[in-house]
Structure 1
Amino acid sequence: MTKVTALPADDQDCGWYHTSQPRKIKPSHSGKSVARWAVLGAGYVGLAAARQLAVNYPNDEVILIEAQDVGFGTAGRNAGFAIDLPHDIGAEDYIGDIEIAKTTLKLNLLGQSILRTLVETHAIDCHMRASGKYQAAVENRGIAVLEAYQRGLDKLGQNYEVIRRKDLPDHIGTSFYQQALFTPGTVLLQPSALVKGLADSLPANVTLYENTAITEVEYGSKVVLKHANGQITADTLILANNAFGQHFGFLKQTMLPIFLYASLSRPLTEAEQAQLGGKEFWGLIPADTYGSTVRRTHDNRILVRNSFSFNPNGRPKPHCLERFIHRHRKSFDNRFPMLPNVDFEYSWSGSLAMSQNHKGFFGQLAPNVYGALCCNGLGITRGTVTGTLLADYIAGKRSDLIDFLLSTSGPNRVPPQPFLSIGVNATLWWGQMKAGKEN
Structure 2
Amino acid sequence: MTSLPADDAACGWYRTSRSRQPRPGHAGETKTRWAVVGAGFTGLAAARQLALNFPNDEIVLVEAQEVGFGTSGRNAGFAIDLPHDIGADDYIGDVATARMALKLNRTGQSILRSIVEENGIECHLRASGKYQAAIEDRGVAVLDAYRRGLDKLGEEATIIDGKDLPDHIGTSFYRKALYTPGTLLLQPSALVKGLADTLPPNVTLYENTPVTDVEYGDKTILGHRQGRIVADKLILANNAFGMRFGFLQGRMLPIFLYASLTRPLTGEEQARLGGKSFWGVIPADTFGTTVRRTHDNRILIRNSFSFNPDGRPRQQYLDRFIKNHRISFERRFPMLDEIDFEYTWSGSLAMSRNHEGFFGQLAPNVYGALCCNGLGITRGTVTGTLLADWLDGRRNDLIDMLLASPGPNRNPPEPFLSIGVNANLLWGQYRAGLES
Verify same fold: TM over 0.5.
yes
Distance 2:94 2:367 in 1: 28
The structure 1 residue matched to 2:355, chosen from 358, 369, 372, is: 358
What is the identity, as a one-letter code, of the residue corresponding to 2:350?
A
Return the offset for 1:139.
1.2
What residue number does 2:383 align with? 386
What residue number does 1:310 align with? 307
Return the offset for 1:91.
1.0
Return the offset for 1:27.
0.3
- Residue 213 of structure 1: SS of its match in structure 2? coil
Q: Cα deviations across residues 299-340 of structure 1 (Å, max 9, x unaligned)?
A: 000000000000000000100000000100000000000002
What is the identity, as a one-letter code, of the residue corresponding to 2:107?
L
Distance 2:337 2:351 in 1: 36
What is the identity, as a one-letter code, of the residue corresponding to 1:263?
S
What residue number does 1:141 align with? 138
What is the identity, as a one-letter code, of the residue corresponding to 2:258?
Y
Segments of structure 2 that go 5 or more residues without pairing to the other structure are none
Question: What pairs with 1:54-73 in structure 2 (closer than 5 Å)?
Answer: 54-73=51-70
What residue number does 1:406 align with? 403
Question: What pairs with 1:23-102 in structure 2 (closer than 5 Å)?
Answer: 23-102=20-99
What is the identity, as a one-letter code, of the residue corresponding to 2:193?
K
Question: What pairs with 1:132-211 in structure 2 (closer than 5 Å)?
Answer: 132-211=129-208
What is the identity, as a one-letter code, of the residue corresponding to 2:316?
H
What is the identity, as a one-letter code, of the residue corresponding to 1:64?
L
1:329 equivalent in alignment to 2:353: no
The structure 1 residue matched to 2:218, chosen from 198, 217, 221, is: 221
Return the offset for 1:357.
0.3
Identity %: 72
What is the identity, as a one-letter code, of the residue corresponding to 1:424?
V
What is the identity, as a one-letter code, of the residue corresponding to 2:98?
A
Segments of structure 1 that go 5 or more residues without pairing to the other structure are none
Q: Return the TM-score normalized by structure 2.
A: 1.00
- Residue 150 of structure 2: SS of its match in structure 1? helix
Distance 2:277 2:197 in 1: 29
What is the identity, as a one-letter code, of the residue corresponding to 1:350?
G
Equivalent pairs, count: 436
Q: Cα deviations across residues 228-255 of structure 1 (Å, max 9, x unaligned)?
A: 0100000000000000000100001000
Distance 1:229 1:246 in 2: 23
Distance 1:142 1:58 in 2: 50
Return the offset for 1:6.
1.0
What is the identity, as a one-letter code, of the residue corresponding to 2:178?
L
Return the offset for 1:140.
1.3
What is the identity, as a one-letter code, of the residue corresponding to 2:344?
S
The structure 1 residue matched to 2:341, chosen from 335, 344, 353, is: 344
Distance 1:140 1:60 in 2: 57
Q: Cα deviations across residues 107-147 of structure 1 (Å, max 9, x unaligned)?
A: 11110000000000110000000000000000111110001
What residue number does 1:370 align with? 367
What residue number does 1:113 align with? 110
Distance 1:214 1:281 in 2: 39
Q: Cα deviations across residues 345-374 of structure 1 (Å, max 9, x unaligned)?
A: 000000000000000000000000000000
What residue number does 2:426 align with? 429
The structure 1 residue matched to 2:18, chosen from 21, 25, 32, is: 21
Name the Cα RMSD after superposition: 0.4
